[in-house]
Structure 1
Amino acid sequence: MHNFLAVDAGGTSTRAVLVSPSGTCLGYGESGAGNPVSRGFRGAADAVLRASRKALGGSARPVHSATVAMAGASLAQPPGLLLEHLREFNPAQGITIESDLLAVFYSGSYHDAGHALIAGTGAVAARVEGGRLAAVADGAGWLLGDSGSGFWLGREAVRAVAAALDGRGPGTALTEGVLAQLGLQADPAVGASGRTGTLQQLINAVYGFMPVQLSRFAPRVFDVPADPVARDIMDRAAAALAGTLLAVGGGGPGGPLVFGGSVLTKGAPVAAAVVEEVSLRRPGARPVPVLVHDGVAGAAVLALKRHGIAVDAIVFGRIASSLAALRD
C-alpha cells in the first residue's frame, strides 16, 4: 500500500502525519517551529525532518510522496535543504511544497473553493478556487501589514500600557498583566530621564524583543475583556481582519469559510466580532466559519488530492477522526 507523508510546518510548531490512500492517519509527530521565514531554511528543514521521523515511527521507511505545507515565501524558492532532508524517506513520487494557507483551508473543508482567514502571529486571508490560491490579502509581515494579528494585538497592548503610564492614554487593566509578564515591579519614582521607573523599565524590556515577539502579549488583551482599552483593541483587530477577509471576497456565498490561528480560535470575542463586522459591511451576509487549530489535516487532504485521490465527506471525516485518535 502506498502511504503519504504530509507536513504542516508552522511558525510555532511543525506537525507531520502518515496517511493512507483511504484517509486513515497511521502515524503522527511534532517538533519545533518550521516556518522558513522566521527560522531560516536550515531550522525549518530540521523541524520538518524531526516531525516526519516521529510520524513514521522513527524509521526511514519509504513513502509514496511527501507534501509539506509552508509559508508562502517558500513557494517562490523551493528550499533545497528541505528536499535533501526528506529524500531519506525515498518518496517515489517526489516532494511537493504547498501553501500553509491551503493547508489551513483544507483542515476545515474538503471542498475546492471557499475562503480562509488566519490570524496567529501574522494575519492573512485567502480565496481558494479549484484547489488553488486565487487571491491573498495581507500576510505582509509586521512592518507592512499583519493587521489584527497576534503581533498587532501584542503591540497595541504594550503601547496602551506605555500611554497609560505617561498620561497619554487612559488607565487600563492591561498594565498589571503586561508588567507581571515582564517580571517588572511598579516604580512611580521619576528618574533622570523624566520618566517613572515603571515606564523606563517597560521601554527597556520591550525594546529587548524582536518586533514579532510582541505577539506574546496578545493573550493579555483576552485576559481582561471588560477593560475598555482591551475591548477597543479587540474591536479594532476585528475590523482590520474583516477588511482583510472582504478584500478577497470572503463573507458571502462561494464555499465554506475557515478561520485559523490562535487570535480567532482562542480569542472568541475577536472571531465573533469579525463575523459581525463582515455582516455590517456586506448586507445580507452572515458567515458561519469553521474553526481549525492547525493545518496538518489539510496537509493530508492536499497529499491525497494532489495524487488524484478523491476526498469526500467520508474520507475527510476519516482523516479528522484518525488524526484526533493519534493526538490523544
Structure 2
Amino acid sequence: MILVADSGSTKTDWIAFSTDNSIQLQGQSEGLNPYFANAEKVATEAANAIDKAYHDKIKEVHFYGSGCSADHGKRIIKEGLQMVFPSARFFVEHDLLASARALCGKEAGIACILGTGANACYYDGNTIMSEAVSFGYVMGDEGAGSHLGKLFLKDLLNHRLSNTVSQAFYERYPSFDLEYLLHRLYRTSDPNKYLSSFAPFISEHQKDESVKHLLKRAFNAFVDEFVVDLAKADIQSLPIHFQGSIAWHFKDILQEVLQDRQLMCGGILSYPINALLQYHRDNSRM
C-alpha cells in the first residue's frame, strides 16, 4: 500500500491506496510542521490517524508538508514516520510540491497556495523551477487569509466599508474595538489565525462593493508579490492554478483579477489531497 499525506498549518489529510488503485483508508490528524512538532509528535499523530492493522502493510509514504523544504524538517518527519511504518520507504517534500503535482500533474504551470498563508512556484511538469520568497504573515502572505483579515479590519476601523457591512460586523462581534484588536494581536498567541478567522465573514459579504474592492487589492498584491517575478516563467502563457480555502471561496473575484491582468486562470481546488492521490496513482510503480 502507498500512503499519501498532505499537511498544512492546522490539519493533515492521510489517504492510502493499494496495488489495484483502490482507496484502502483515509484519516485526518493535526497539522505537522517540523518547526513546531518533534518526531514523537509526528509518530503519535500518524498512529492515531491510521489504523494499527495497516501499519506493517504500508510500503511507501509520500508526505508533503509546511516546513519540509529544509533537510532538518524532512528528517524530523521521516524519523516520526519510521516509528509507525517500519516496512516503508519515505519521501518527504515541501507542501508547494504537493500543490504543483495536484494542480498541474505532468504539465507546466504556475501553482499557487492561498489559504491561511500564501506561496507560488513555477513547475515545469516535473520539477519546481523557481518559487516565490514567502515571508510569512508579518512581512507578506499577500492575498492569504491573514492578509484579508488585516485589510478588512483596517478598512472597518477607518470607516472605509459600507454601512451595511459595518453594521453586520458589529452585530456579529459586539465586543470588538481597537483596544481589543491590539490586545489580541500583540498580547496573545496565533495572531495570524485570529486575522484569518474573519475570512468567513468577509466571504459572506464579498459582493458588497467596499469588500470587493479590498479583495481585489489583496489578490492584485498576491500576483505582484508571488507571481510576476517568478524566474524562468512566462506568466502570460502559463495557466495559473490555485489551491486553498481562500482561493476556493473567493474564486470569482480571483478569476476577475487575473482576467483584468490578461493572465490565464487554471484550476482552483479547495484541498489538494484527492488530486494528489490521483497523481500518485498515475505515477505509481507498485
TM-score by length of 1: 0.73
Partner residue, 2:196: 215
Deviation digits for residues 237-283 of structure 1 (CA, Å, limit 9, x no counterpart): 121222222332364334x542111111111333223322431xxxx
Deviation digits for residues 67-123 of structure 1 (CA, Å, limit 9, x no counterpart): 10012554332344432332221234x211112112122223421422111110111
Is residue 228 of structure 2 the alignment partner of residue 238 of structure 1?
no
1:204 deviation in Å?
Answer: 3.7
CA contact (8 A) 2:102 2:279 kept: no
Amino acid at match of 1:266: H
What SS does the aligned partner of 2:147 have? helix
Deviation digits for residues 133-190 of structure 1 (CA, Å, limit 9, x no counterpart): 11111432012211111110011111122222xxxx46554434544554517xxxxx
Partner residue, 1:274: 257
Select 2:149's aligned residue among 147, 154, 162. 154
Partner residue, 2:272: 295
Query: Which of 79-88 and 116-125 deviates more?
Result: 79-88
Partner residue, 2:37: 40
Stretches of structure 1 that go unaligned for 5 or more consecutive residues are 186-197, 280-284, 310-328
What SS does the aligned partner of 2:62 have? strand
Deviation digits for residues 1-36 of structure 1 (CA, Å, limit 9, x no counterpart): xx2111001122210111234543221111222333
Partner residue, 2:17: 19
Looking at CA atoms only, which structure, 1 or 2, has the larger radius of gyration?
1
Amino acid at match of 1:145: G
Partner residue, 1:247: 229
Instruction: Show structure 1 runs of 4+ deviating over 6 A.
Output: none
Partner Cα separation in structure 2 for residue 138 and residue 229 of structure 1: 30
Partner residue, 1:195: none
Question: CA, structure 1 residues 227+297, in 2 after alignment: closer, same or farther (shift >3 Å)?
Answer: closer
What SS does the aligned partner of 1:146 have? coil
Amino acid at match of 1:268: K
Partner Cα separation in structure 1 for residue 65 and residue 161 of structure 2: 41
Task: Identify the structure with bigger relative contact order (alpha carbons < 8 Å, sequence gap 6+).
Answer: 1
Question: CA, structure 1 residues 215+66, in 2 after alignment: closer, same or farther (shift >3 Å)?
Answer: same
Is residue 14 of structure 2 the alignment partner of residue 31 of structure 1?
no
Question: CA, structure 1 residues 99+221, in 2 after alignment: closer, same or farther (shift >3 Å)?
Answer: same
Partner Cα separation in structure 2 for residue 91 and residue 305 of structure 1: 23
Cα RMSD for the two superposed structures: 3.0
Stretches of structure 2 that go unaligned for 5 or more consecutive residues are none
Select 2:62's aligned residue among 67, 74, 96. 67
Partner Cα separation in structure 2 for residue 181 and residue 170 of structure 1: 15
CA contact (8 A) 1:150 1:215 kept: yes
TM-score by length of 2: 0.83
